Amino acid sequence: MEGVATVVRNAGSHYLLSTLPGWELFPAVLRGRVRLSRSSATNPVAVGDRVRYELDGAATEEHPAVIKEILPRENYLIRRSTNLSRQAHVIAANLDQAVIITSLYFPEIKLPFLDRILVTCEVYKVPVVIVLAKVDLYRDQVPEQVEAFRRIYEGAGYPVIETSILTGEGIGALRERCRGRVNLFSGESGVGKSSLIKALDPTLDPKVGQISEAHLQGKHTTSLYEMYRLSSGGFVIDTPGLRGFGLVDLEKEEISKYFPEMLRVMDDCRFVPCTHTHEPGCAVKAAVDAGQISADRYNSYLGMLEEDKKFR
């Protein structure tokens, strides 16, 4: 028997599949030749991938389905394994939306990290919503910083939802935003991603690994990437907290095109191409000087140009 299903869990060489939007999970393994035929990414199959599988009888842990083919991806999110590595890792595929979770404090925000994720989402055509978490801990103390953050990123074109697990603020809006979609949840380590997932659906506990206990009999319980079904509708892909995010397959001349606020003005630059660093008559630099483009975002862009030099 052959069929098409979606990868909902990746545990090394073992996978769980389901035919979305249904939720009937069954185990699978990857055929060796498929693994070798994929790209140089460290993982040939990602959560969210649609795959063609073969199964003789009923799928069990001892008799799993065999993944024969990875179908073409509508989009995906990829990063360097580390900022100084040439190896790349596909985080997830076929996404309706990336929910990027950050916090101004606890942990303190690193804007270059956030901007690298946003650029990658632009490159691979993944829509984004930014979640500003833990606002109950700092908004009253630094309201001007919260407003400045919103002004920067909403001005660039990204929706921003303020949330608090303690008060419940923004949870309903985020739940509605996720309804009916395949959502990737990602962010820096310690930002509260797992707590937000639990707030969206209290029946879920990503750290416990309920899917693995129910369907893999406790085997392969160390999962890095896993999809969950939300009781309110839609799906969420949980990922480990990130400590770095390196760009992949992006020429330095292209980077500015993936800053929406730069893209809007760069046609007015005197020179084409323009690196927006030293050229006279640069519309991007003029917009930064005028406060129309955030200086922080521009500095993130300059940092990406410097990072690009390390791989040449």
Q: What is the pLDDT of residues 98-124, one digit of tens each?
A: 999 999 999 999 899 899 999 999 999
Query: Could you give the CA distance from residue 8 to residue 24 in angstroms, rounded to a whole number?
Result: 11
Q: Are residues 134 and 113 in the same domain?
A: yes
Q: Are residues 226 and 86 in the same domain?
A: yes
Q: Is residue 247 part of a domain?
A: no
Which residues, in sequence order, are bridge partners of residue 90?
78
Query: Could you give the CA distance from residue 219 to residue 236 in angstroms, rounded to a whole number?
Result: 22
The torsion angle over the Cα atoms of residues 180, 186, 192 and 195, rounded to 10 degrees, is: 30
Q: Is residue 16 part of a domain?
A: yes
Query: Could you give the CA distance from residue 18 to residue 11 in angstroms, rounded to a whole number?
Result: 15
Q: Are residues 186 and 281 in the same domain?
A: no
Residue 273 contacts residue 220 (beta carbons within 8 Å):
no
Q: How many domains does the chain contain in total?
A: 3
Q: Are residues 91 and 221 in the same domain?
A: yes
Q: Are residues 11 and 109 in the same domain?
A: no
Instruction: Determine what percent of the chain is predicted with pLDDT higher than 90.
Output: 66
Q: What is the pLDDT of residues 156-206, one digit of tens each?
A: 999 999 999 999 999 999 999 999 999 999 988 888 899 999 999 999 987
Q: Is residue 188 part of a domain?
A: yes
Band (pLDDT 50/70/90 cuts) for residue 81 is low
Q: Are residues 183 and 269 in the same domain?
A: no
Q: Are residues 49 and 85 in the same domain?
A: no
Q: Is residue 131 part of a domain?
A: yes
Residue 262 contacts residue 301 (beta carbons within 8 Å):
yes
Domain that holds residue 34: 2-70
Q: Is residue 249 part of a domain?
A: no
Residue 174 contacts residue 163 (beta carbons within 8 Å):
yes
Q: Is residue 244 part of a domain?
A: no
Q: Is residue 245 part of a domain?
A: no
CATH number, residue 31: 2.40.50.140
Q: Are residues 24 and 100 in the same domain?
A: no
Gap between the terminal Cα atoms of the chain: 48
CATH number, residue 279: 1.10.40.50
The H or E element that residue 194 is part of is: helix 193-200
- Report the pLDDT value the prediction gives residue 220, as an integer from 0 to 100: 35
The H or E element that residue 78 is part of is: strand 76-80
Which of 6, 167, 149, 127 shows the shortest CA–CA distance to 71?
Answer: 6
Q: Are residues 173 and 280 in the same domain?
A: no
Q: What is the pLDDT of residues 25-48, one digit of tens each?
A: 999 998 766 654 455 566 789 999
The torsion angle over the Cα atoms of residues 52, 23, 198 and 51, rounded to 10 degrees, is: 0
Q: Is residue 248 part of a domain?
A: no
Query: Could you give the CA distance from residue 61 to residue 39 in angstroms, rounded to a whole number?
Result: 28
Q: Are residues 168 and 47 in the same domain?
A: no
Band (pLDDT 50/70/90 cuts) for residue 56 is confident
Work out whether strand 14-18 and strand 2-11 pair parallel, antiparallel, or are unpaired: antiparallel
Mark which of 70, 102, 121 sits at the end of a domain: 70
Band (pLDDT 50/70/90 cuts) for residue 215 is very low
Q: Is the pLDDT of residue 208 over 60?
A: no
pTM higher than 0.85: yes
Q: Are residues 81 and 230 in the same domain?
A: yes
Q: Are residues 138 and 205 in the same domain?
A: yes
- Report the pLDDT value the prediction gives residue 217, as an integer from 0 to 100: 37
Q: Is the pLDDT of residue 214 over 60?
A: no
Burial status of residue 83 (CB atoms within 10 A of its CB: 0-12, 13-18, 19 or more): middle
